[in-house]
């Protein structure tokens, strides 16, 4: 009986999934900012950062984090689009402060 009591009900599952999605998107934006700050190509997220993070997570937690980390959107097009969004936001803030 306790097993069933501990299971998430549908609204809790939606809230938990939404929270996880928010965390992945936040991580994606923060990593995109790092990529832009260092001047690396947009594909470094998929080609270097995610595999490196997977190696670190696996070594530290003894679990395969590859599938979980693949949920972080860091494709070349996503990083490019987010870099453009951040640039536009910075320009808008600069213009509004003048």
Q: What is the pLDDT of residues 30-48, one digit of tens each?
A: 999 999 999 999 999 999 9
Above 80 in pLDDT, residue 20? Answer: no
Q: Mean pLDDT highest for which of 21-25, 68-72, 82-86? A: 82-86
Task: State the pLDDT at residue 1.
Answer: 46
Task: State the pLDDT at residue 71.
Answer: 84
Distances (CA, A) of 37 to 13, 17, 21, 42: 36, 30, 24, 11
Tally the domains of the chain: 1
Domain of residue 91: give its range.
Answer: 2-97
Above 80 in pLDDT, residue 80? Answer: yes
> Cα separation of 6 and 2, whole Å?
6
């Amino acid at each position: 009986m306790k097993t069933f009591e501990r299971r998430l009900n549908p609204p809790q599952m939606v809230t938990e999934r939404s929270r996880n999605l928010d965390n992945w998107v936040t991580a994606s934006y923060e990593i995109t900012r790092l990529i832009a700050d260092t001047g690396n190509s947009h594909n470094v997220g998929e080609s270097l950062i995610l595999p490196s993070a997977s190696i670190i997570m696996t070594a530290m937690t003894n679990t395969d984090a590859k599938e979980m980390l693949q949920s972080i959107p860091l494709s070349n097009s996503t990083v490019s689009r987010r870099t453009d969004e951040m640039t536009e936001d910075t320009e808008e803030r600069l213009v509004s402060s003048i």
